[in-house]
Amino acid sequence: MKNIVQNIGQMCAIPTHKNYKLWQRIVNVFILTSCIGLALQTVPSCLSEYKTIFNILEWVTVAIFTLDYISNLFYSEKKFKYAFSVWGIIDLISILPSYLIFLNLSVLQGARMLRLLRTARMLRIILDVDAQKISNPLIANLKVYLIIFFATLMISSTSMYAVEGTLYSPEKIEMGQKALNAQAKPGQEAEVFMPKDPISGAAIPADKRFFTSIPEAMWWSIVTLSTTGYGDLYPVTVKGRIVAGMTMFLGLVLFGILLNLIGKTVMFLFFGEKLKRDD
């Protein structure tokens, strides 16, 4: 029995084997569903109504990611190198916070926020598409572009919510108000809690609290990546403006990639020019 399991594991560790490709597709599906689930969990109404579904999805995803991490570590030729590589660390971060939350360690309550880093696993799907032998280069390029755009959208909106939206989340507002109530003298009305930018110290008024969830931040990310910038949502913290600047730059890069893709498609369709995938 042990030999059978080992043989199956070795087959799934070979990039050219059909079992490996099937497993990677399963992992990619859970990466997408996990990112969508993490985004919806930041919406209070969705979290309260579908909490059980989110919990089931979370632990099924963690189980899949754990198997993937262990298999990659076990069958890697250079285990130490993989464990401390960028992808190895991202794979570990995608599962470790959930186990820390399960242990309910009071010192590590911030581990819940680390789960947002799981969106970085979106970039691994690009490697899977690049490894596939797709006969039509246009389809391959389009798949890569859409994955890059969605990954950038998720990482940008998640980053904005993490650095700015969490400053005025309902939990943060409640904790801050309780602290002010405890400091108030008997018979004296407590001040209203006002979240502040941790770098500049500037207060964030109620009418400037835009990024209350990841889906809310997604709208800002879409208009910023498209370089239109409606201006209805904008960051007011230093970290938020840094994320905004990086998002604008990535929007220009994506726009250049899209123009290149459209140009190649026009050449192929109207002039019959054969396209070759870049190595």
pLDDT in tens, the chain (279 residues): 445 445 545 554 555 567 777 887 888 888 888 888 888 888 888 888 888 998 888 889 888 888 888 888 887 777 888 888 877 887 887 787 777 766 655 444 445 556 666 666 766 666 565 545 555 666 777 777 888 888 888 889 988 998 999 899 888 888 888 888 888 777 777 788 899 999 999 999 988 999 999 999 999 999 888 866 667 888 999 999 999 999 999 998 888 888 887 777 777 666 655 544 444
Q: Would you state the pLDDT for residue 133?
A: 52
Q: What is the dihedral sign for C-alpha 29, 30, 35, 38?
A: positive
pLDDT of residue 228: 63
**Tokens at residue 183, please?**
């400091």
Q: How far apart are CA 63 and CA 57, in angstroms?
A: 10
The number of folded domains in the chain is 2
Q: 92 and 202 share a domain?
A: no
Strand partners, 196: 203
The answer to whether position 262 is within a domain reads: yes
In a domain, 277, yes or no: no
State the pTM of this model: 0.76
My answer on whether 201 and 83 are in the same domain is: no
Residue 239's pLDDT is what? 93
Q: Do 15 and 60 reside in the same domain of the chain?
A: yes
Residue 274 has phi, psi (to 5 degrees) of -75, 135
Is 57 a member of any domain?
Answer: yes
Are 92 and 31 in the same domain?
yes
Residues 181 and 123 in one domain: no
Distances 148 to 122, 224, 246 between C-alpha atoms, Å: 8, 15, 15
d(CA 205, CA 191): 14
Same domain, 78 and 171: no
For the chain, the first-to-last Cα distance in angstroms comes to 42
Q: Does residue 139 sit within a domain?
A: no
Which range marks the domain in which residue 226 is found? 167-271
Cβ distance 72 to 88 under 8 Å? yes
CA angle 162, 167, 173 (to 5 degrees): 135
Domain at 219, CATH number: 1.10.287.70
User: According to the model, what pLDDT value does residue 215 have?
Assistant: 92
Q: What is the pLDDT of residue 229?
A: 61
Instruction: Tell me what pLDDT residue 273 has.
Output: 53
Say yes or no: 175 and 112 in one domain. no
